[in-house]
């Protein structure tokens, strides 16, 4: 079907060129006018026939070119296509107006070649201006509507300083999965924005030969599908790309600057880079750290010791929220639940550690135990004295 369409285009273009240029050709090569050759029907038919013959050899290449253009256009943001087309049309109109100055020239170079060059140049400039300044054009078209819908009091409040409509998700946050639970609570507002290059990275991880990476990638895709299907919060896909930037993290930063968004991540290193770039970031690890209950020295808790610690006789357990608890002399109680008393807590960027000792270590040894020990010692001494007297 595409090949047939391409050939029809060739035929129409050939007929049009025949109607336009063949009369000049006949006038040049014929000494006397020939009505049989130089007429509308013959010129159109001959031009269409020539281009149809060429289409037999060029149709496949033209179809491949059309497929490539169609594929590239499908990856573009609809707003990019819209404003790019508007800019291209405006550029062509400017070129047509300027070309009127050269149309009356008898020189072929001025009346034909120069207008074509002007159309190509101004069309390209218009398309570039339309695609690279999308945010500015959107503000221009929406200005009147915002002026009607927004009261002066709200405008004076300048909410854009503290509010970011787009929450941009990175690859790690989708693989982590906690973003789904946070969204369900309703703490996030605005629109979740998932760039195409993040989706491609997830697909690459999901297709990895490493089974662990494959599971993580598929979990990220499942979380994204849940967010889209359950409609808890609007989710949009960003179709554009920054082809001159190879790293996904750098693309995220550039996208956040472009749409005035905030990046949602759990990557510690990316968090530091984003802050250095003066871009807003929401780190769910910091959120989780802030929500953990505070503990004070002397507070008692119950914890299961699951493994040995790094120091001698230490045991390690974990609270329900994943906080590590290091128990002194805990190595003797592995796989047992014990009561412990908090001695100190250490807060780091990677998380929190609680140091504790066994609760019964604070209670001391009972008095009756001391009495029994004294009685046993006296009995042992008397037995030794009797043995010496016997000898």
In order, the DSSP letters of 217-271 are HHHHHHHHHHHHHH-SS-EEEE----TT---HHHHHHHHHHHHT-EEEE--HHHH
* Higher-pLDDT residue of 12, 292: 12
* Unique residue bearing structure tokens 């390690």: 316
Least confident of 96-105, 111-120, 277-286, 363-372: 363-372
Nearest to 276 by CA among 250, 238, 258: 250
pLDDT per residue as tens digits for the range 90-100: 999 998 899 88
Give the domains, in start order, of the chain with CATH numbers. 1-74 (no CATH), 77-143 (no CATH), 164-288 (3.40.50.1010), 297-360 (2.40.50.140)
Structure confidence at residue 89 (pLDDT): 92
pLDDT per residue as tens digits for the range 77-87: 777 788 888 88
d(CA 309, CA 319): 16
Query: Does pLDDT of 369 surpass 50?
Result: no
pLDDT per residue as tens digits for the range 318-352: 887 678 899 998 888 888 899 999 988 887 666 67
Query: Does pLDDT of 376 surpass 50?
Result: no
| Number of helices (H), then strands (E), in the chain | 15, 10
Full-model pTM: 0.45
Query: Does pLDDT of 151 surpass 60?
Result: no
Find the helix packing angle between 211-230 and 178-185, rounded to 10°.
20
Mean pLDDT value across residues 146-172:
62
- In degrees, to the nearest 5, what angle opens at C-alpha 104 toward C-alphas 98 and 107? 100
Query: Does pLDDT of 37 surpass 90?
Result: no
d(CA 265, CA 280): 11
Mean pLDDT value across residues 200-214:
87
Q: Report the half-sphere exposure of 317 (CA within 13 A, side-chain side).
A: 26
Residue 75 CA to chain centroid, in angstroms? 15
CB-based contact 38:23 (threshold 8 Å) = yes
Of 58-62, 90-94, 174-178, 292-296, the range with the highest mean pLDDT is: 90-94
Tally Cβ neighbours within 10 Å of residue 227.
21
Least confident of 143-147, 291-295, 364-368: 364-368
């Amino acid at each position: 079907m595409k090949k047939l369409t391409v050939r029809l285009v060739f035929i129409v273009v050939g007929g049009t060129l025949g109607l336009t240029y063949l009369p000049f050709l006949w006038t040049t090569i014929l000494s006397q006018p020939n009505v049989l050759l130089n007429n509308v029907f013959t010129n159109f038919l001959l031009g269409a026939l020539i281009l149809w013959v060429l289409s037999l050899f060029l149709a496949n290449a033209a179809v491949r070119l059309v497929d490539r253009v169609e594929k590239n256009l499908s990856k573009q943001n609809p707003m990019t296509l819209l404003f790019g087309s508007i800019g291209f049309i405006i550029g062509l109109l400017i070129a047509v107006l300027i070309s009127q100055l050269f149309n009356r020239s008898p020189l072929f170079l001025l009346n034909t070649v120069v207008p074509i060059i002007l159309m190509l140049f101004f069309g390209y400039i218009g398309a570039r201006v339309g695609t690279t300044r999308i945010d500015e054009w959107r503000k221009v078209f929406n200005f009147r509507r915002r002026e009607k819908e927004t009261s002066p009091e709200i405008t004076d409040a300048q909410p854009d300083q503290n509010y970011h409509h787009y929450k941009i998700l990175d690859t790690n946050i989708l693989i982590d999965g906690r973003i789904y639970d946070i969204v369900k609570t309703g703490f996030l507002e605005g629109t979740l924005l998932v760039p195409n290059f993040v989706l491609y990275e997830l697909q690459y991880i999901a297709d990895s030969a490493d089974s662990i990476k494959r599971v993580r990638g598929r979990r990220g895709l499942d979380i994204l599908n849940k967010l889209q299907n359950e409609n808890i919060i609007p989710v949009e896909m960003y179709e554009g790309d920054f082809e001159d930037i190879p790293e996904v993290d750098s693309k995220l930063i550039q996208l956040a600057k472009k749409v005035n968004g905030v990046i949602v991540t759990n990557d510690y290193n990316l968090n530091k880079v984003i802050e250095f770039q003066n871009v807003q970031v929401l780190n769910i690890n910091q959120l989780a750290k802030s929500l953990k209950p505070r503990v004070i020295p002397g507070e008692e808790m119950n914890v299961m010791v699951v493994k040995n610690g790094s120091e001698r006789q230490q045991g390690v357990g974990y609270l329900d929220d994943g906080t590590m608890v290091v128990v002194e002399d805990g190595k003797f109680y592995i796989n047992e639940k014990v009561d412990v008393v908090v001695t100190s807590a250490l807060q780091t960027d990677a998380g929190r550690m609680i140091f504790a000792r066994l609760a019964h270590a604070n209670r001391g040894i009972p008095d009756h135990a001391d009495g029994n020990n004294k009685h046993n010692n006296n009995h042992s001494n008397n037995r030794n004295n009797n043995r010496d007297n016997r000898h």
